[in-house]
Amino acid sequence: QVQLVESGGGLVQPGGSLRLSCAASGVIFSINTMGWYRQEAGKERELVARITRTGRTDYADSVKGRSIISRDNAKNTVYLQMNSLKPEDTAVYYCNADVSILATMPASNYWGKGTLVTVSS
């Protein structure tokens, strides 16, 4: 089994910053793409940013220039540094990863349980 555990959410004022972390644990051979998604109340989950194992990144237009995704492959951890936060960034942020548990098996997709980010004064 593979678990993804997010941390770092909370309440922040507009213009502030947060750093989210997500650590993968369990039976892991390799992790391919890792990413962050978010879901506002009553809306569909959407991509925020993702990063491949080799470091190629992709960002949603809404966070481009304000956020940086990074990962530590040795720690099976992905980070999301969010700056200049806006009230519209308020959402539950979910970690996502494509994980192979064996060299001979294709990767499966896993989700964390989410961490709430609230941007409000």
Half-sphere exposure of 69 (CA within 13 A, CB side): 26
Whether residue 73 is predicted with pLDDT greater than 90 in this model: the reply is yes
Whether residue 105 is predicted with pLDDT greater than 90 in this model: the reply is no
Q: What pLDDT shows up at residue 14?
A: 98
Whether residue 1 is predicted with pLDDT greater than 90 in this model: the reply is no
Q: How far apart are CA 83 and CA 55, in angstroms?
A: 20
Q: How far apart are CA 54 and CA 77, in angstroms?
A: 14
